[in-house]
Amino acid sequence: MSTKTARSQWSSRFTFILAATGSAVGLGNIWKFPYITGEYGGGAFVLVYLCCIAILGIPMLMAEIMIGRAGSSSPSNSFRELTTANNLNKHWSAAGTIGVTAAFLVLTFYSVIGGWSIAYLSYSLQGLFAGNDAAAIGDIFNDLISSPSAVIGWHTIFMLFAVSVVARGVNKGIEKTVTVLMPAMFILLLMLVAYASTTPGFQQSLQFLFSFDFSKLTAEGVLQALGHAFFTLSLGLAIMLAYGSYLGKDVSISRTAVIVSFLDTLVALLAGIVIFSVAFSNNLTPGAGPGLVFQTLPLAFGQMPGGNLLSIFFFFMLLFAAWSSAISITEPCVSQLMQRFNISRKRSSALIGISAWLIGVLAALSFSVLSDTHIIGLSIFDFLDYITTNILLPLGCMITALFCGWALPKTISQEALDLNDTQHKLWIFILRFITPVLILIVFISNFL
């Protein structure tokens, strides 16, 4: 199919919401949000985070979806359609190119972690965690990441999962898959929450997450909340540009953006309740990152009655969250390549899959045979993470904010966004001044 034929469309607003929520809900909700919340003052942090989502996240989410829908093309080309139609500088499309580049690089290492989650699902299906102590659980993790054949194998399977869905197209691939994955993920999460509420650590977890401790809310905490608001809504990676380009003109972008942000936050909070209840019930201190999901939780599950079944639920949930996010990172890359070289979706998916897989192999091996290879002092895996999250992602968001705030004629956004006059003025004001300044602050602080 060439890019010239009619562009696909989501079959309903609901499927768009599922796909966008599938993108937003990912490892960030499960292994980062709960931890930073506990670290920086519980309820006080949640309050700041909600402000960041409302002030920065939602307006930016609206901006990306709007540009995608208005341009109805690949990420860079959607910008270009708008700049051409309105006689603007064509270099604004750099935001699309930067976003797609970032998405491609994120895909390479996201697939490695996605692979770990399939590995852990298989371990939980085999009941490997039962009765193990911390050392044995630590060995399971270290054995996995230090085995080149294992990590590459799981990475390969996960990459195939993601790419094969995108290759089948928006309706038959992405839409069909997220309509199964997302409801299943929600049901698993709700079952885990129901279980968590019966554990002795439940009260403590609520206290950890929701008791206000403003003394723990430092400037660093506020910066974390800012950065996480962008990451968790998958902004700056051209994802919402790509997904927005398949959105029908009759759908309200503002309302949809609010719903997606609400669901994303809900999942983060519920995942936090589950994780902390399980950890506290076993007298474990929860940390962040891979250690939390791949060591602390398996250890806890291994000690609890019925823990094996819970671990199966949990790793299915993790896999579904990671899978739907990976699909969303693949789509902008595939769409861009299709449009740029006028090739079919299948061919574009294959090219993206193979090249991202190759770089991912290097990232996967940076925990074993390539552990001595460093780029600017970072392992290959950390380097990829660093340049995407700390540099490309904020840069893409910054250009998008400036474009919508300063360059794009106001009438265009007013018409596209379904906002009243005051709301639209506020939206412009935020993207003109607030977002760029705050991104600049986060950007600079990342270097300090």
d(Cα 78, Cα 245) in Å, to the nearest integer? 8
389 binds ligand PHE (CB under 6 A): no
How many beta carbons lie within 10 A of that of residue 155, not counting itself?
Answer: 26
Angstrom distances, CA of residue 355 to CA of 105, 108, 347: 10, 9, 12
Please give the radius of gyration of the chain, using alpha carbons only, rounded to the nearest integer.
21
- Helical pair 435-447 and 219-232, crossing angle rounded to 10 deg: 110
- CA geometry: angle 422, 423, 424, nearest 5 deg: 90
> Which residue from 27, 271, 356, 359 is in contact with ligand PHE, where contact means CB under 6 A?
27
37 binds ligand PHE (CB under 6 A): no
Residues in 102-131 at the binding interface with ligand PHE, rule: CB under 6 A? 106
d(Cα 32, Cα 401) in Å, to the nearest integer? 25
Give the residue with the Cβ less far from ligand PHE, 79 or 104. Answer: 104
Residues in 202-231 at the binding interface with ligand PHE, rule: CB under 6 A? 231
- Pick the piece of the chain touching ligand PHE (CB under 6 A) from 21-29, 69-77, 147-155, 398-406: 21-29
Give the residue with the Cβ less far from ligand PHE, 74 or 234. Answer: 234
d(Cα 329, Cα 332) in Å, to the nearest integer? 6
Phi/psi at 109 (nearest 5 deg)? Answer: -95, -20
Give the residue with the Cβ less far from ligand PHE, 356 or 428. Answer: 356
Residue 429 CB, nearest approach to ligand PHE (Å): 26
Of 47, 156, 63, 175, nearest to 112 (Cα)? Answer: 156
29 binds ligand PHE (CB under 6 A): yes
9 binds ligand PHE (CB under 6 A): no
277 binds ligand PHE (CB under 6 A): no
Residues in 311-350 at the binding interface with ligand PHE, rule: CB under 6 A? 325, 328-329
Size of the site for ligand PHE (CB under 6 A): 14
Angstrom distances, CA of residue 363 to CA of 33, 111, 294, 380: 24, 10, 18, 5
Give the residue with the Cβ less far from ligand PHE, 303 or 400. Answer: 400
> Which residue from 22, 26, 38, 173 is in contact with ligand PHE, where contact means CB under 6 A?
26
Beta strands in 310-390 (DSSP E): 374-375, 378-379
Q: Across-strand partners of 7?
A: none
> Which residue from 237, 319, 343, 419 is in contact with ligand PHE, where contact means CB under 6 A?
237
28 binds ligand PHE (CB under 6 A): yes
Q: Which residues bind ligand PHE (CB under 6 A)?
A: 23-24, 26-29, 106, 231-232, 234, 237, 325, 328-329
